[in-house]
Amino acid sequence: MICTDARGKLDDYEDGLLTEAELHEVELHLAACADCRAEVSRLRALIRRASSVPREMDPPRDLWPDIVDRLAPREGRPPVRRLRRFLAHPVALAAAAAVFVALATVTVRRETAAPTPTGAPAPIAARASDDHVQAAEVDYIRATGQLMGALDARRGSLSPETRNAVDENLRVIDDALKQVRDALEEDPGNRQLTRMLASTHQKKLDLLLRLLKLTAQI
Amino acid sequence: MAVGSMALRDATQSGPTRIPLPIDQERRARERDLVRAAQDGDLVAFEALYRDNVRRVFALCFRLAGNPDLAEELTQDVFVRAWQKLPSFRGESAFSTWLHPLAVNVALSERRSRRRRLARVMPTDDLTLFEDADNTPTPAPEAGLDLDKALALLPDGARAVFVLHEVEGYKHEEIAEMTGMAPGTSKAQLHRARRLLREALAS
| B56, B122, B123: residue with CB nearest A56 | B56
- Cα angle A7, A10, A12; round to 5: 135
State pLDDT tens for residues A66-108: 999 998 765 554 444 444 443 443 333 443 344 344 444 444 4
Give long-range contacts, CB 8 A cutoff, 24+ apart: A43-47: A43/A10, A43/A11, A43/A14, A43/B194, A43/B198, A44/A14, A46/B194, A46/B197, A46/B198, A46/B201, A47/A14, A47/B166, A47/B194
Quick one: pLDDT band at residue B169, thresholds 50, 70, 90?
very high
Give chain A's end-to-end CA distance (angstroms, integer): 48
State pLDDT tens for residues A15-44: 999 999 999 999 999 999 999 999 999 999
Instruction: Please give the pLDDT value at position A136.
Output: 65
CB contact under 8 A, B79 and A89: no
Mean pLDDT of chain A: 73
Quick one: pLDDT band at residue A196, thresholds 50, 70, 90?
confident
Is-contact B95 B53, C-beta < 8 A? Answer: yes
Q: Tell me how far apart the alpha carbons of residues B152 and B134 are, in angstroms, rounded to a whole number.
A: 7
As for the ipTM of the complex, it is: 0.75
State pLDDT tens for residues A106-140: 444 444 444 444 444 434 444 444 565 666 666 67
**Which of A135-149, B23-37, B125-139 ranks highest by mean pLDDT?**
B23-37
Interface of A with B in 111-140 (CB under 8 A): none
- Residue A52: pLDDT above 50? yes
Interface residue B109 vs chain A (CB under 8 A): no
Interface residue A92 vs chain B (CB under 8 A): yes
**Mean pLDDT value of segment B75-91:** 95
CB contact under 8 A, B123 and A55: no
The helix/strand/coil state of B78 is helix
Instruction: Please give the pLDDT value at position B114.
Output: 66
Interface residue A195 vs chain B (CB under 8 A): no
Q: Which residue has the higher pLDDT, B124 or B101?
A: B101
Q: Reduced to 3 DSSP states, what percent helix, strand and coil does chain A have, rounded to the nearest 5?
A: 70, 0, 30
Looking at residue A52, the DSSP 8-state letter turns out to be T
Instruction: Please give the pLDDT value at position B64.
Output: 93
Question: To probe the interface with A, which of B83, B136, B173, B194 has the most A CB atoms within 10 Å?
Answer: B194
Angle between helices A160-186 and B95-121 (to 10 degrees): 130
- Residue B35: pLDDT above 90? yes
Instruction: Please give the pLDDT value at position A45.
Output: 94
